[in-house]
Amino acid sequence: MIITQIAEGQAPYVVEAIVTICGTDIAVNIGGGLLPHIGAIALATPRPSIKRDGNISATASVLCVSGHKEDMLARTAALHLASEFNTVVLVSVGLHVDNATSADIKCLSTNFDILLSRIETWLRKHIC
């Protein structure tokens, strides 16, 4: 296994990931804000695109802890990475800021997107 930790942003909006390459599969655990946790998980598997254009797409299953809203972040990240790397991907996401405003959520989301890009860059260097 190959493991790394990547972070983006400043407290209280820092978003961190532990990325593990498990054989040919990828596991990503993302937490951030004031209380990193597991809010949602997504498991994505690659498949041929339904457009039949030779591209790889993916499908995902998502579990979300009751009352949490990270399901779309986990799903989006898992689908993106599974189609980009043509492998099974598990993503866990848990971001929390007390009494979050729309500005707080936007900042966390921006840092999440930047972090996902940095994860993809790291994976390109480490996956054969």
Kindly list the domain boundaries of the chain, sorted by start residue. Answer: 2-126
CATH number, domain 2-126 = 3.30.230.90
Which tens digits make up the pLDDT trace of 61-95?
999 999 999 999 999 999 999 999 999 999 999 99
Cis peptide before 12 (omega within 30 of 0): yes
Contact 22, 15 (CB under 8 A): no
Predicted local confidence at residue 128, as pLDDT = 64
Is the pLDDT reported for residue 53 higher than 90?
Answer: no
